[in-house]
Chain A
């Protein structure tokens, strides 16, 4: 914009004044020439010209940006006004800061988890391959599926398999063996994700084929910590599980994986394998020009091909293959909870807005004379509204800046309270950052709140009754009936919203208590678990694993204070394997198998270590080894579901029919029934589980198992097991020939982690609910105090006429409680409708839980009563004489 016309405005205005004087002089001369008297000539010249000031103002305004200048003037005026009432200003800004702060905090998490694209190049093209069925779509793949998907080059640029690295690998050969996360990947993994290579290269196709040699790619972190970021590390070897692995490359620091990874090794699949076990994930990068219908059509053909090759039962009836965007898959089921959270903080913000609007209305009514005076001096409605809106925007933007700080500290505190497996937020929420999205969100919310809480007070203030107000004595008069009603409505709304939040919090608190009360079916107190990786060549057969278990169990039992030791390939509440089975001799009907169940391989002392009770039959003994008859123990849920009438102990079951050569074994006699365990966490019903002795696992299954899962050692002790970690790990290292352990956690911690999400939700909603409750209490206190102040005169008259103090007090309380009860009614109604969105968060509690719906309104009413009590008390102290003299 050309600024020339704004320059020298003062001088140009003087010029214009002079010019106008000259104009008038000419007009005067002309009039005089027509024979008028000098006085008349002068007068007429002025009359015909009009007010010179108007002309000057018009030119002045042309030389200015009136909008910005007026706003700037209003802003200075607003700041001056706000400085003059620091109490009001501070409270308003704090309330807004809390409201905006919690919204910023929750939005910054949503931004990180839901909105930001994945950090890989062209992330929209990345999809996860899924197994589809009538029940939904599930991740997971076996080698034959990977092989078929890999051949779909018409729709996929790259297809890559990867696992979670959960089995762990041991870096050996140094003084301190260390367990690391070694992720298995297929060769195209790095190219598909566009992983940056710092030095060296990634795996070749040859290296990813059977007998491709031992090679590894290091993560930036491991390269730095273990090799001091030495660039010459490529070409050297690292000892993994006792074998030398050639380091071929190092991946850059910014490469993000779902789970932390220290190094990568190639899967080296045999693509002719008939192995039906699903133990990895497959993702693909779509070709740029393909559409989703094309992909689905192609995958339908692939599923048909799969069925032809591996039998009709290799896929469930109506099942097939599909894709889902990798981002969606990563986000998983966190979207809805986060949006519910955003809804909850939205309520907090609404309450904050109502509160500030109320304060502003009270303030506006005290400034009524000021507005009337301005209007009398010629200010238009628009100008008064603009000035008040600028005032409220000043407040909301200051609150927003403070809210940004509050929100940013808040989110750190929040996420340090273990939110329970929110994807993509990084270590302790380190990925949650302040970016442009968050800043824009906070700015937008600030402006919106400023308008929201400022508009109504501004409009009502801009409608002054000039004569009435200016004639009133002092600022006592209210803003009139309309705004009084509006303030009451605001308070009712505040109470209602606060009640919705508090009822939500009550439901979640009740949920958490119910979860804590669930008997998990196994001991968690004084029990510790640790993972021993058996991924190397040494453990490709069952016998050496059995040996390690035997020796380790003996040695750990010898540690003073240890009461029980068990080993398993699936840790309770940490995810496990499942397998189909047939009951030998039972007709199968329509389905290909009798059913499916959780599938644990355990050591003979496992039930004792976790105090899982034996209900019938016998437990495993050390004699149930590879040479002994094959046996299985099932849990109660399995007995109930699959033997509703018969006796399972009389039956034999065939585990994993058709699951491929790794699971080829004979039928197993059911030897016992044990109690149920809440393996999926306390909020899930116990699932059917079958347990087999680890020593009876087929060799091929052991080889597969060692590659995907560690051995979990579970130790129960007399004392706090954390004090025994050193002797236990030492004993295990001695017994295993130097294998380290990792992931050392007590079962209490694992349980806490399982309920972390619920605890997190409960804490959040309790905090939000308390904030809402507090603001609502302040709100009703404010309205009632104001009302008492307004009615001082009336109260004085009543007193003079003989009303007792208690009458006056009760009158105020009655009025306040009417607001409260209307608010409670609104809140209960709102909560009744809104708590349905909490249904997925609840456990053992109905969304209309009578305790929550009765106790919280009571609590809120009591809080409101306390808030009303103070102004009510004040009403009784009105001095009738003083009140009347105010007139």
Chain B
């Protein structure tokens, strides 16, 4: 199993926004999803997940609603707001610029 990588500062927000972009998700599912999709490279510590969710909620990028999960448990579902979608797009664009630039430099050297 590959070693979990440290999350780059600020990327957690982007990952969360991306994770809830298509459909509302609850906290556990967000963590699971990021972990699975990244092939267990990215592991979200619960110590940072919930503070991040609440911070994003306060910023108005996501909104939360109590609902029931697939296995019929009560859960707090997060969904993207319009402002959140704009933020996600901005961050994605930023990220692709940055990673593209980093890749260029790495190929060059």
A774 lies within 8 A of chain B by Cβ: no
Whose C-beta in chain B lies nearest to the C-beta of A26?
B28
Q: Could you tell me if B46 and A23 are in contact, using CB atoms closer than 8 angstroms? A: yes
* Chain B proximity mask over A1-38: 1 for CB below 8 Å, otherwise 0: 00011000000100110111011011101100000000
**Shortest beta-carbon distance, B76 to chain A, in Å?**
5
- Distance in angstroms between the alpha carbons of A54 and B27 in the assembled complex: 16
B51 x A26 contact (CB < 8 A): no
Please tell me if the beta carbons of B76 and A58 are within 8 angstroms of each other in the complex: no
A55 to B51, CA, bound (A): 7
Q: Which of B26, B45, B51 touches A22 (beta carbons < 8 Å)?
A: B26
Chain B positions within 8 Å of A62 at CB level: 51, 54-55, 58
Find chain A residues with CB under 8 A from B41 CB. Answer: none
Q: How far is the CB of B42 from chain A (nearest CB, A)?
A: 15
**How far is it, in angstroms, between the C-alpha of A5 and the C-alpha of B55 when the chains are bound?**
9
Chain A residues with CB under 8 Å of B28's CB are 22-23, 26-27
Binary flags per residue of A35-74, CB closer than 8 Å to B gives 1, else 0: 0000000000000111000110011001100000000000
Q: Which of A22, A62, A63 has the most CB of B within 10 A?
A: A22
The distance in angstroms between the C-alpha atoms of A5 and B27, with both chains bound, is 20
Residues in A with CB closer than 8 Å to B2 are none
Least CB separation from B76: chain A residue: A19
Stretch among B7-15, B67-75, B79-87 lining the A interface: B67-75
Smallest CB–CB gap between B47 and chain A, Å?
6
Chain B proximity of A58: nearest CB distance (Å): 5
Number of B residues with CB within 8 Å of any CB on chain A: 19
Please give, as numbers and ranges, the residues of chain A lying within 8 Å of B26 by CB-CB distance: 22-23, 26
Report the count of interface residues on A (CB-CB < 8 A).
Answer: 24
For the complex, give the distance between the alpha carbons of A576 and B16 in Å: 91
CB of B95 within 8 Å of the partner chain: no
Asked if B50 and A59 sit within 8 Å, CB to CB, the answer is yes
Interface 0/1 of B64-107, CB less than 8 Å to A: 00000101011110000000000000000000000000000000
Report B57 CB to chain A, min CB distance, Å: 10
Point out the residues of chain A lying under 8 angstroms from B54, CB to CB. Answer: 12, 16, 59, 62-63
Q: Are B76 and A59 in contact (CB under 8 A)?
A: no
List residues of A (692-724) whose CB comes within 8 Å of B's CBs: none
Kindly provide the distance from the CB of B14 to the nearest chain A CB, expressed in whole angstroms: 19
Q: Are B51 and A59 in contact (CB under 8 A)?
A: yes
Contacts of B21 in A (CB 8 A): none
Which residues 4-53 of B sit at the A interface, judged by CB distance below 8 A? Answer: 26-29, 32, 45-47, 50-51
Q: How far is the CA of A55 from the CA of B54 in the complex (A)?
A: 11
Contact B55 A22 (CB under 8 A): no
A58 touches B47 (CB 8 A): yes
Interface centre among B26, B46, B69, B73 (most CB of A within 10 A): B46
A15 partner, pick from B29, B51, B76, beta carbons under 8 A: B76
Beta-carbon contact of B47 and A26 below 8 Å: no
- Does more than half of chain B's interface fall in helix, strand or loop, or is it mixed? helix
Interface centre among B26, B50, B55, B75 (most CB of A within 10 A): B50
Alpha-carbon distance between A273 and B88 when the two chains are bound, in angstroms? 90
Looking at the complex, which one of A4, A18, A27, A54 makes contact with B47 (CB distance below 8 Å)? Answer: A54
Give complex CA distance A570, B73 in Å.
106
Task: Determine whether the beta carbon of A26 is less than 8 Å from that of B69.
Answer: yes
A26–B75 CB distance below 8 A: yes
CB distance from A698 to the nearest CB of B (A): 94
| Minimum Cβ distance to chain B for residue A7 (Å) | 11
Residues of A within 8 A of B45 (CB): 50
Residues on B with beta carbons closer than 8 Å to the beta carbon of A26: 26, 28-29, 69, 71, 73, 75
Chain B hits for A54, CB < 8 A = 47
Chain A residues touching B, majority SS: helix
* A18–B27 alpha-carbon span in the complex (Å): 12
A55, B46: Cβ atoms closer than 8 Å: yes
Contact of B50 among A4, A20, A30 (CB under 8 A): A20
A5-B58 contact, Cβ under 8 Å, with A26-B29, A27-B28: yes
Q: Which residue of B lies closest to A2 (CB)?
A: B58
In the complex, residue of chain B having the shortest beta-carbon distance to the beta carbon of A56: B50
Kindly provide the distance from the CB of A870 to the nearest chain B CB, expressed in whole angstroms: 59
Q: How far is the CA of A22 from the CA of B68 in the complex (A)?
A: 10
Assembly CA distance A29 to B69 (angstroms): 12
Q: Which one of B27, B55, B58 lies within 8 Å of A23 (CB-CB)?
A: B27
- Least CB distance, A42 to chain B, in whole angstroms: 14
Docked complex Cα distance between A26 and B46 (Å): 13
B29 proximity list for chain A (CB < 8 A):
26
Contact A58 B73 (CB under 8 A): no
- How far, in whole Å, are A49 and B46 apart by their CA atoms in the complex? 6
Check if B46 sits within 8 Å of A58, measured CB to CB: no
B56 CB to closest chain A CB, in angstroms? 11
Q: Please, which residues of chain A bring their CB within 8 A of the CB of B27? A: 19, 22-23
Chain B residues within 8 Å of A23, by CB: 26-28, 46
Q: Which of A5, A15, A54, A55 has the most CB of B within 10 A?
A: A55
Residues of A within 8 A of B47 (CB): 50, 54-55, 58
Q: B50 and A55: CB pair below 8 A?
A: yes
Shortest CB distance A22–B (Å): 5
Smallest CB-CB separation from B59: which chain A residue? Answer: A5
Q: How far is the CA of A27 from the CA of B31 in the complex (A)?
A: 11
Query: Contact between B71 and A4 (Cβ–Cβ < 8 Å)?
Result: no
B75 touches A22 (CB 8 A): yes
Are B71 and A58 within 8 A (Cβ)?
Answer: no
Chain B residue with Cβ nearest A29: B71
Shortest Cβ distance from residue B73 to the other chain A in the assembled complex, whole angstroms: 5
**Cα of A23 to Cα of B74 in the assembled complex, Å:** 10
A4-B58, A26-B69, A62-B55 in contact; A16/B50 too (CB < 8 A)? yes
Cβ–Cβ < 8 Å partners of A29 in chain B: 71, 73
Minimum C-beta distance from B64 to chain A (A): 8
Q: Give every chain A residue within 8 A of B58 (Cβ-Cβ).
A: 4-5, 62
Bound complex: CA A26 to CA B32 (Å) = 10
With contact pairs A5-B58, A55-B51, A59-B54 given, residues A25 and B46 touching in the complex (Cβ less than 8 Å): no
Task: Report the separation of the CA atoms of residues A514 and B27 in the bound assembly, to the nearest whole angstrom.
Answer: 89
A63→B51 CA distance, assembly (Å) = 10
* Least CB separation from A5: chain B residue: B58
Distance to closest chain A CB from B31 (angstroms): 8
Chain A nearest CB, measured from B18 CB (Å): 20
Interfacial chain B residues near A19, Cβ < 8 Å: 27, 50, 75-76
Which B residues touch A59, using CB under 8 A? 50-51, 54
Q: How far is the CA of A16 from the CA of B26 in the complex (A)?
A: 12
Smallest CB-CB separation from A55: which chain B residue? B50
A19 to chain B, nearest CB (A): 5
Given the complex of chains A and B, what is the CA–CA distance between A29 and B72 in angstroms? 11
Chain A nearest Cβ from B78, distance in angstroms: 10
Chain B residues near A16: list those with CB within 8 A: 50, 54
Contact A58 B75 (CB under 8 A): no
In the bound complex, what is the Cα–Cα distance between A12 and B50 (angstroms)?
12
Residues of A contacting B32 in the complex (Cβ-Cβ under 8 angstroms): 30
Name the contact of A50 in the complex, choosing from B46, B69, B74, B76 (C-beta under 8 A): B46
User: Is there contact, CB below 8 Å, between B73 and A25?
Assistant: yes
For A63, list chain B residues within 8 Å (CB).
54
Which B residues touch A48, using CB under 8 A?
46
Interface residues of A in 502-549 (CB under 8 A from B): none
A50 to B31, CA, bound (A): 15
A54 to B55, CA, bound (A): 16
With a 10 A CB-CB cut-off, give which of B47, B51, B58, B71 has the most chain A CB atoms: B51
26 contacts between A and B (CB under 8 A): A4-B58, A16-B50, A18-B74, A19-B27, A19-B75, A19-B76, A22-B26, A22-B27, A22-B73, A22-B74, A26-B28, A26-B69, A26-B71, A29-B71, A29-B73, A30-B32, A48-B46, A50-B46, A55-B50, A55-B51, A58-B47, A58-B51, A59-B51, A62-B55, A62-B58, A63-B54
B residues lining the A interface (CB < 8 Å): 26-29, 32, 45-47, 50-51, 54-55, 58, 69, 71, 73-76
Q: A16-B54, A23-B26 are in contact. List 7 more A-B contacts (CB 8 A).
A: A5-B58, A15-B76, A22-B75, A29-B71, A48-B46, A54-B47, A62-B54
Q: What 7 A-B pairs are tightest by C-beta distance, nearest first?
A: A26-B28, A23-B28, A58-B51, A19-B76, A22-B75, A55-B50, A49-B46
